Amino acid sequence: MITLVIAEDHQALIDGMKSFLRNENDIEIVGYANDGFALIDIVRQLKPNVVITDIRMPKCDGIVATKTIKAEFPNTQIIAFSMFDHDDAIAQMKEAGASGYIMKNSSLQTVLEAIRAVSQGYSYFVNDAENEYETSKNELFFSNREKEILQLIAEGKSSQEIADVLFIEKSTVDSHRKNMSKKIKTIGKTDLTKFALERKYDYL
């Protein structure tokens, strides 16, 4: 189980993520904070696996909070959550010890994927302005569902055929394909089908 704390000074954003994540069996939101000092306190109390924190918060910003948390709890993975896509902000959060950086206008599916990625030891940085994904371990992070879809793409199945095999909507398959196509841009411009064929046996 991934235990999660969310720090954000706009309660509506916290409520939105709580509503979205409540049906995920592998993630439990154990607490939330509206300022940096409250975040540090709650992490000390609950020792979550993952923290999502805004960068600009009252009393203590996300960069200082991240440095403090990582110094005391190096195994806690931190994802920056911000309206800013400036390289400086990303660099400061990386230097502070963050494992991820996502935009506030990212899809909730991206938030979910980032949580799972960092909990498994990957980094997950998204520059929304350029639609770029960066991952660590010299490997792209794919969810289990995406791995299933990649394998079926490699087998030559269409989106509708994949949907039928996995008992999901075709639109869901199309959404996964779009997300995966964005990710593989980090290793050069290549067609998703070609990528799937090259990795055909990696996810068996």
Three-state SS string across 27-75, please?
A: EEEEEEECCHHHHHHHHHHHCCCEEEEECCCCCCCHHHHHHHHHHHCCC
**Highest mean pLDDT out of 64-68, 100-104, 120-124:** 64-68
Q: Does domain 144-198 have CATH number 1.10.3720.10?
A: no
Mean pLDDT within 117-127: 83
Residues with Cβ within 8 Å of 90's Cβ and at least 6 positions away in sequence, in order, are 80, 101, 125, 127
Q: Is the pLDDT of residue 204 over 60?
A: no
Secondary structure class of 153 (helix, strand, coil): helix
Nearest to residue 118, comparing CAs of 146, 76, 88, 73? 76
Check for a shared fold between 2-135 and 144-198: no
pLDDT confidence bin for 199, thresholds 50/70/90: low
On average, the pLDDT of the chain sits at 83
Q: Which helix (H) or strand (E) holds 26?
A: none
**Cross-strand bridge partners of residue 79:** 52, 100
**Cross-strand bridge partners of residue 51:** 5, 78
Give residue 167's region: left, alpha or beta (phi > 0; psi -120 to 50).
left
Considering the domain delimited by 2-135, tell me its CATH architecture: 3-Layer(aba) Sandwich (3.40)
Length of the chain, in residues: 204
Q: What is the pLDDT of residues 156-197, one digit of tens each?
A: 889 999 999 998 899 889 888 888 887 776 555 557 887 787
pLDDT confidence bin for 131, thresholds 50/70/90: very low
Q: Structural domain boundaries of the chain?
A: 2-135, 144-198
Mean pLDDT within 68-85: 90
Mean pLDDT within 94-105: 89
Tell me, what's the pLDDT at 137?
Answer: 45
CB 150 within 8 A of CB 196: yes
Tell me, what's the pLDDT at 92?
Answer: 86
Tell me, what's the pLDDT at 132?
Answer: 45
Question: pTM of the prediction?
Answer: 0.65
Tell me, what's the pLDDT at 11?
Answer: 82
pLDDT confidence bin for 138, thresholds 50/70/90: very low
